[in-house]
Amino acid sequence: MSDDETMKSLLRASLHRGRDNLRWKLSGLDEKSLRWPRTPTGFNLLGALKHMAQVEIVYFGDTFGRSWPHPEEVVTDADIDLDPQADWCAPETETTEYLLDLYARVADFADETIETRGLDAPGRVPHWPEGHDETTLGQSMVHVLVDLTRHLGQIDIVREGIDGAAGLSEAAPNLPPTADREAYLARLRGIADRF
């Protein structure tokens, strides 16, 4: 396996793991909990899912000359002009089931782009400024991974605030299983209080 194939395989595995974790972090909650704005800017779990689907449509579709086959599911520039948060807001007609299905279909679509191109395959990001819009598949994969992991961090915090669910992934929570959380929190508060 060449260095490029190894790197592509690592990036693809990271992308798949991030997608799985996003779906896992949304599981077990009702529609209201998933839609409720959790920050002053309106961050909500279902909106984050919708946003990531749109991100992958752009960075693995439009950027490489591939149009999403269902244009009615794409948040357009005109939609953003009407509502700058359109890609973060799931209207009542977009259920959790629908958005999870969309995200799965988008993942398959994105994976087709990844499978059929090399890391150095050229692309153009439609919303980047002219003259600075050139990219490669490898750069797009890193860009999407950075965006996904950033939002997974936000989702982790929000989900923990809803019902205490926490952890790195379903398979490997990466949290001490027998930790005395109350004692740990008391210790942290004691340290903070001394400042």
- Considering just the CA atoms, what is the radius of gyration of the chain in Å? 19
180 band by pLDDT with thresholds 50, 70 and 90: confident
Q: What is the rounded distance in angstroms from the CA atom of residue 4 to the CA atom of residue 2? A: 5
Tokens of 58: 């752009």
Kindly list the structural domains of the chain, giving each domain's residue range(s) and its CATH number in brackets, ordered by start.
3-193 (1.20.120.450)
Which helix or strand (DSSP H or E) is residue 81 part of? Answer: helix 77-82
Q: pTM above the 0.75 mark? A: yes
Residue pLDDT, tens place only, 72-114: 999 999 999 999 999 999 999 999 999 999 999 999 999 999 9
* pLDDT, position 4: 86
Tokens of 47: 């909106």
Tokens of 127: 């919303």
